[in-house]
Amino acid sequence: SQKIEQNSEALNIQEGKTATLTCNYTNYSPAYLQWYRQDPGRGPVFLLLIRENEKEKRKERLKVTFDTTLKQSLFHITASQPADSATYLCAPISNFGNEKLTFGTGTRLTIIP
Amino acid sequence: DGGITQSPKYLFRKEGQNVTLSCEQNLNHDAMYWYRQDPGQGLRLIYYSQIVNDFQKGDIAEGYSVSREKKESFPLTVTSAQKNPTAFYLCASRDRQGTYEQYFGPGTRLTVT
């Protein structure tokens, strides 16, 4: 069955450092992969989408990589700030049967001042 | 001001009662979704609808029902058959012609005692 794993439930990073979150998937051949941010008690917010033919995508301090050989996506936040503290969710999307998204369980990131 | 609204934010019910959660969107999106989130868990899909008057079961549909009579509205009924109804419920919508990005509402926290 399809499975999505995100590294460690919680990650603590010192302010100013780069935070790296991992999303691994099995029994999937996603054509795209999305990342969302969720703050406590609120709905997730879309951050970035990367296509299978894109190795890397950037948006301000965010960078996402997508390695279809390793079946992995990495999500980086550079120059991290306490305001970046949140749970981050990944969601791979296949070309077929893509009407619904399946989300990873998320990684709770805390940036320590 | 476009977006998705869910009401109420908090809902309390006695065991054995059915309860309906509201979800409205003015984004003109065809697709709408209901998810359930438990503490420390990822999002699990309950039901989704690609078009008016049509909907499909997600991964955990038992004990829930939906309707999609209008494009803007996708209410979810939590029935007394749902064994563990206490959870955070999230509604989302998507433009089927778009980039798979899902727009989420603020969520409804349901507590059943």
Average pLDDT of chain A, as a whole number: 91
B39 touches A at CB < 8 Å:
no
Return the higher-pLDDT residue of A90 and A31: A90
Distance from CA of A65 to the nearest CA of B (A): 18
pLDDT in tens, B74-98: 999 999 989 999 999 999 999 877 7
In this predicted structure, the answer to whether residue B104 has a pLDDT above a threshold of 90 is yes
| CA–CA separation, B49 and B55 (whole Å) | 4
Picking from B22, B18, B24, the residue whose alpha carbon sits closest to that of residue B3 is: B24
Q: What pLDDT does residue A60 have? A: 96
The share of chain A scoring above pLDDT 70, in percent, equals: 96
Interface of A with B (CB under 8 A): 9, 32, 34, 36, 41-46, 49, 89, 93, 98-106
Q: What pLDDT does residue A98 have? A: 65
Residue recorded with tokens 């981050």: A88
Q: What pLDDT does residue A96 have? A: 63
In this predicted structure, the answer to whether residue A22 has a pLDDT above a threshold of 90 is yes
Supply the DSSP string of B56-72, one letter for each residue. Answer: EE-SS-TTEEE--SBTT
In this predicted structure, the answer to whether residue B73 has a pLDDT above a threshold of 90 is yes
DSSP B73: B
Q: Do A104 and B42 touch (CB under 8 A)?
A: yes
> Which residue out of A2, A45, A101 would a mutagenesis test of the B interface target, given it has the greatest number of B Cβ atoms within 10 Å?
A101
Helix, strand, coil fractions of chain A, as percent rounded to 5: 5, 55, 40
Structural contact between residues B16 and B78, judged by C-beta atoms closer than 8 angstroms: no
Q: What pLDDT does residue B2 have? A: 65
Q: What pLDDT does residue B36 have? A: 97
B89 touches A at CB < 8 Å:
no
The share of chain A scoring above pLDDT 90, in percent, equals: 70
* DSSP E strands, chain B: 4-7, 10-13, 19-25, 31-37, 43-51, 54-57, 64-66, 76-78, 87-94, 103-104, 108-112
Picking from B76, B77, B75, B84, the residue whose alpha carbon sits closest to that of residue B112 is: B84
Structural contact between residues B85 and B78, judged by C-beta atoms closer than 8 angstroms: yes
Contact partners, residue A73, CB within 8 Å, separation at least 6: A22, A23, A33, A35, A50, A64, A65, A66, A67, A90, A92
Q: What pLDDT does residue B42 have? A: 86
pLDDT in tens, A59-100: 999 999 999 999 999 999 999 999 999 999 999 987 665 677
Contact partners, residue B38, CB within 8 Å, separation at least 6: B87, B88
| CA–CA separation, B99 and A40 (whole Å) | 26
Q: Using an 8 Å CB-CB cutoff, list chain A residues near B48.
A: 99-100
pLDDT in tens, B1-57: 569 999 999 999 999 999 999 999 999 999 999 999 998 778 999 999 999 999 999
